[in-house]
């Protein structure tokens, strides 16, 4: 294998965060220490679009890119992500639960879409996108809570209701409130209670906006294997004529015939197999070994709006000062 890009898509750690304090990751420490290139990239989605030769999609609302893998073009052009989330209610504020990005299986997703159609069908339509959530169409607002909810795990949700300088569209704010009331009384949420699964507190609307033309052709660059359940990743795959597969649980489980792999994981809110504490043994240690043994030429890592590139032979840079992985992610 020549190149692996590992995207930790929900690993956002603000300076004051103590979510991962004390978690030993010696292999990740060493990989980040000897990175040959590093820097801020902003949102990983725009970086990945450029990496795949899809520059024309960098400024397209991500929900529109993602929806093209699931919906007709006319519906995709008005799509918003409707991510099911779980809130923690406090006396004077509401927080997104640290594990509050919820998943729905196809059967339950179909039930939610059917129930939504019965109550909102004349105005809005909910479309099942996959285990990570839904798309909403019918919303005419061009502004609103565009912040990815993965950035708000454990945080006050008010901070994510808008980007700096943007106003929340009145229709969007009204729709979001209506959906929360609807969810509160939904029989399907009662069924989740019985099954001891977290209730869906809200459908977090984000990633949409005014329709944007996406007719430009991609520039042929890398042709990797794409692994992950992220809806935007699936949209990029469609734009490049590729397919996505579920992320394997370990580096060793990547198919041997894939020379260039892009793997997206959610260590803070994904499945137990993706948990941050398991990545050291399942990914970072074997990646470090593959680099040192010449079985891998390059590792790219994206997390917390940062990028690192570690190449074979990088460990000879012994003069680099020691710094723990958590300090590197926040540096």
The 10s digit of each residue's pLDDT in 47-85 is: 999 999 999 898 899 999 999 999 999 999 999 999 999
Nearest to 282 by CA among 312, 245, 325, 253: 253
Q: For position 89, what pLDDT does the model report?
A: 83
**pLDDT over 60 (residue 166):** no
Section 244-257 average pLDDT: 94
Domain boundaries, the chain: 3-56+219-330, 64-206
Residue 226 backbone dihedrals phi, psi, to 5 degrees: -110, 125
Mean pLDDT of 170-183: 89
Across the range 271-281, mean pLDDT stands at: 90
Q: What is the pTM of this model?
A: 0.91
User: Could you tell me where the DSSP H helices lie in the chain?
Assistant: 26-33, 44-51, 62-67, 73-76, 106-120, 170-185, 187-194, 231-239, 276-279, 285-292, 325-330
Query: Does the pLDDT at position 192 exceed 60?
Result: yes
Q: So what's the pLDDT on residue 265?
A: 97
């Amino acid at each position: 294998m020549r190149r692996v890009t590992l995207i930790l898509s929900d690993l956002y750690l603000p300076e004051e965060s103590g979510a991962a304090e004390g978690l030993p990751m010696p292999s990740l420490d060493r990989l980040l220490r000897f990175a040959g290139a590093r820097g801020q990239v902003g949102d990983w989605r725009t970086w990945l679009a450029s990496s795949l030769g899809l520059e024309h999609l960098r400024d397209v609302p991500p929900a529109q890119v993602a929806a093209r893998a699931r919906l007709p073009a006319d519906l995709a052009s008005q799509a918003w992500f409707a991510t099911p989330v779980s809130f923690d209610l406090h006396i004077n504020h509401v927080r997104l639960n640290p594990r509050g990005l919820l998943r729905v299986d196809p059967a339950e997703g179909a039930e939610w879409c059917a129930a939504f159609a019965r109550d909102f069908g004349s105005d809005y339509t909910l479309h099942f996108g996959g285990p990570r959530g839904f798309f909403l169409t019918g919303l005419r607002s061009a502004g609103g809570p565009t912040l990815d909810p993965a950035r708000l795990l454990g945080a006050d949700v008010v901070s994510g209701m808008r980007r700096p300088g943007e106003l929340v569209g009145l229709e969007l704010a009204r729709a979001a409130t209506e959906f929360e009331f609807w969810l509160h009384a939904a029989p399907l949420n009662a069924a989740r209670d019985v099954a001891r699964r977290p209730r869906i507190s809200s459908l977090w609307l984000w990633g949409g906006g005014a329709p944007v033309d996406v007719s430009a052709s991609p520039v042929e660059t890398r042709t990797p294997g794409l692994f992950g359940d992220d809806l935007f990743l699936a949209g990029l795959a469609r734009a490049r004529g590729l397919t996505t597969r579920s992320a394997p649980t370990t580096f060793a489980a990547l198919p041997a015939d894939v020379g260039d792999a892009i793997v997206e994981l959610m260590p803070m809110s994904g499945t137990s197999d993706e948990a941050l504490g398991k990545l050291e043994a399942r990914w970072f240690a074997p990646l470090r070994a593959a680099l040192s043994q010449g079985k891998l030429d390059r590792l790219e890592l994206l997390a917390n709006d940062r990028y690192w590139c570690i190449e074979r032979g990088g460990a000879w840079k012994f003069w680099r000062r020691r710094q723990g992985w958590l300090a590197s992610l926040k540096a």
